[in-house]
Structure 1
Amino acid sequence: MADAQVTRKLSNGAEIPVVGLGVWQVPDGPECERAVAAALETGYRLIDTAQAYGNESSVGRAIRSSGIPREEIFLTTKFYPGKRDARVEAEKSLERLGTDYVDLYLIHWPQGGPTWAWPGMEAASEAGLTRGIGISNFGATELQELLKVSQIPPAVNQILFSPFDYRRSLVEACEDAGVVAQAYSPLGTGRHLDDPAVERIASATGRTPAQVLIRWAVQKGLSVIPKSTHKTRIEENFAVFDFELDEDAVSALDALDTTNQTPDALSRSQKWWS
């Protein structure tokens, strides 16, 4: 349980756990409920979902069934920017989740530009629907555009981040703005686990490739939300606080980057919106 207390402080004063469970691509229903239940039982206190995932109801059921007080769980969901009003959609999320508030509400991606949805996000915050607001998949330029018009600054920017997607310049831009960067897909949806360099470091440290990848992101100062539906892997992904990668291992992982340490959140080919 001590692991659950490893956190980073957000600009709104809240503490976000350094490791959480993401439920992207987990179907609504028993599989999602089991994954969230296993994570909470393991000691996770950060659960990350989204309107676009279609599994908020399952996440909410698992949280209520856990018996863990709601205030001990940091719950994130995300506004689907294909909709028009972030506050209205937040209310719908709370209904599906079966809770009075979320701890963090993010714009899932900057479709239509980085600023238009922010007034609705701020309205959701002011109405008490969420305790914090932030963004996801925003590059450094989009972050700066948002900061120019925001009354409440974003607390978090959730980004694709791993040694192979080492967006160093973007993380630095976030830190300079007082925004905590959060890593999704730290395992490359499993693709990075078989990389020879990762496997070599895992063998040398007596850890698994997944633990090496997650630990690397933690040492870079990010909150990390690996996804799994398997109890043993959920437990494995959380066991990253009792070792540290040395400088040689970190440098070797840094060298795997394919983005030239970009300030962009995604490459042009990765963007799924116009």
Structure 2
Amino acid sequence: MTTTRTLADGREIPVLGLGVWQVRDGRECADSVRWALEAGYRHIDTAQAYGNEDSVGRALRDSGVPRDEVYITTKFNPGRKDPVAELDGSLERLGVEFVDLYLVHWPAGGPTRAWDGMQKAQRSGQARSIGVSNFGTGDIDAVLAVADIPPALNQIQFSPFEYRRDLREHCESRNIAVEAYSPLGTGRHLDDKEVAAIAERQGRTPAQILIRWSLQRGLIVLPKSTHQDRIAQNAEVFDFELTGDELAALDALDRTGGTGRALERTWW
């Protein structure tokens, strides 16, 4: 399996990245990013709302990995007014001249409110690609109705347990890539008996099984960990495949009814 995917805007994105949601700013975040880069990750996902962009930037600089080899995503906090002004702050904290991907973190104030500013951020060159996060089918269509530049990607909660088929198909039919956050259910899904049984048969960890499922379902995937060994293990997912029966067994774990909603309960 290839380790990158070409987005609708023609830019490539690594299909595996490290997510740093709920990772504390400071040493914990910097170490996690450094370990990921040492393990071969070339995609780091942060956000203004996470409060750890400084640590991501410091780890990137200290790693010695050239900037043009690392794909960096951050997200506009829609509790703020101006995506361009907020991106200026992100670039300063990250210590970079541009981000590879800039997302509207959630559709606060309506799904289209921030889109004009997001397009300005891309036209200025400060964001190579732009997209959304936590947008359901109706939110996606609202943005497409007004967009000069369509979103390249929708980052959503996705796993076998949150198998949002309708939303994935809706996005893909509109050339919008789907990216999975919390693919391990913030650890909750690792203890599932079906996942464990497949992991034992495959000689893999439960986390590797869940990440591999996302990849074979055509998703970009962002596992999060703050443990060096698990960060490295989570990247070892390109040298095996789940069988058709195993994929079907994992698909059957869905608890969303194949929804077109991005979340069952929203926080905004």
Q: What corresponds to 1:90 in structure 2?
A: 87
The partner residue of 2:72 within 66, 70, 75 is: 75
For 2:231 and 2:165, locate their aligned partners in 1 and report how far apart those are by CA, in whole Å: 27
Q: For each residue in 1:29-74, what CA deviation from the matched residue of structure 2 results, as whole angstroms up to 9, or x when unmatched?
A: 0110000000001000000000000000000010011111101100
Matched residue of 1:244: which SS? coil
Any gaps of 5 or more consecutive residues in structure 2? none
Q: What corresponds to 1:137 in structure 2?
A: 134
Alpha-carbon shift at residue 76 of structure 1 (Å): 0.1
The partner residue of 1:218 within 215, 218, 223 is: 215
For 1:98 and 1:43, locate their aligned partners in 2 and report how far apart those are by CA, in whole Å: 21
Amino acid at match of 2:111: P
For 1:262 and 1:199, locate their aligned partners in 2 and report how far apart those are by CA, in whole Å: 25
For 1:24 and 1:90, locate their aligned partners in 2 and report how far apart those are by CA, in whole Å: 18
Q: For each residue in 1:111-163, what CA deviation from the matched residue of structure 2 results, as whole angstroms up to 9, or x when unmatched?
A: 11100100010111111111010000000111011001001110110000000
The partner residue of 1:64 within 61, 65, 74 is: 61
For 1:159 and 1:38, locate their aligned partners in 2 and report how far apart those are by CA, in whole Å: 25
Q: For each residue in 1:77-101, what CA deviation from the matched residue of structure 2 results, as whole angstroms up to 9, or x when unmatched?
A: 0000000001110111001101000
Alpha-carbon shift at residue 212 of structure 1 (Å): 0.3
Amino acid at match of 1:258: R
The partner residue of 2:153 within 149, 152, 156 is: 156
Amino acid at match of 1:228: S
Q: What corresponds to 1:146 in structure 2?
A: 143
For 1:68 and 1:231, locate their aligned partners in 2 and report how far apart those are by CA, in whole Å: 18
Matches within 5 A, 1:1-274: 6-267=3-264, 270-273=265-268
Alpha-carbon shift at residue 109 of structure 1 (Å): 0.4
For 1:64 and 1:130, locate their aligned partners in 2 and report how far apart those are by CA, in whole Å: 19
For 1:265 and 1:157, locate their aligned partners in 2 and report how far apart those are by CA, in whole Å: 10
Alpha-carbon shift at residue 227 of structure 1 (Å): 0.4
For 2:123 and 2:85, locate their aligned partners in 1 and report how far apart those are by CA, in whole Å: 13
Matched residue of 1:37: which SS? helix
Number of residue pairs aligned between Structure 1 and Structure 2:
268
Any gaps of 5 or more consecutive residues in structure 1? none
For 1:98 and 1:207, locate their aligned partners in 2 and report how far apart those are by CA, in whole Å: 37
For 1:124 and 1:88, locate their aligned partners in 2 and report how far apart those are by CA, in whole Å: 9
For 1:80 and 1:116, locate their aligned partners in 2 and report how far apart those are by CA, in whole Å: 12
For 1:45 and 1:180, locate their aligned partners in 2 and report how far apart those are by CA, in whole Å: 18
Matched residue of 1:202: which SS? helix
For 1:60 and 1:153, locate their aligned partners in 2 and report how far apart those are by CA, in whole Å: 28
For 2:85 and 2:58, locate their aligned partners in 1 and report how far apart those are by CA, in whole Å: 22
For 1:66 and 1:35, locate their aligned partners in 2 and report how far apart those are by CA, in whole Å: 12
Q: TM-score, normalised by structure 2?
A: 0.99
Alpha-carbon shift at residue 24 of structure 1 (Å): 0.3
For 1:264 and 1:31, locate their aligned partners in 2 and report how far apart those are by CA, in whole Å: 33
For 2:206 and 2:123, locate their aligned partners in 1 and report how far apart those are by CA, in whole Å: 42
For 1:194 and 1:164, locate their aligned partners in 2 and report how far apart those are by CA, in whole Å: 12
For 2:67 and 2:10, locate their aligned partners in 1 and report how far apart those are by CA, in whole Å: 18
Alpha-carbon shift at residue 14 of structure 1 (Å): 1.0
Report the identity percentage. Answer: 61
List structure 1 runs of 4+ shifted beyond 4 angstroms. Answer: none
For 1:128 and 1:250, locate their aligned partners in 2 and report how far apart those are by CA, in whole Å: 40
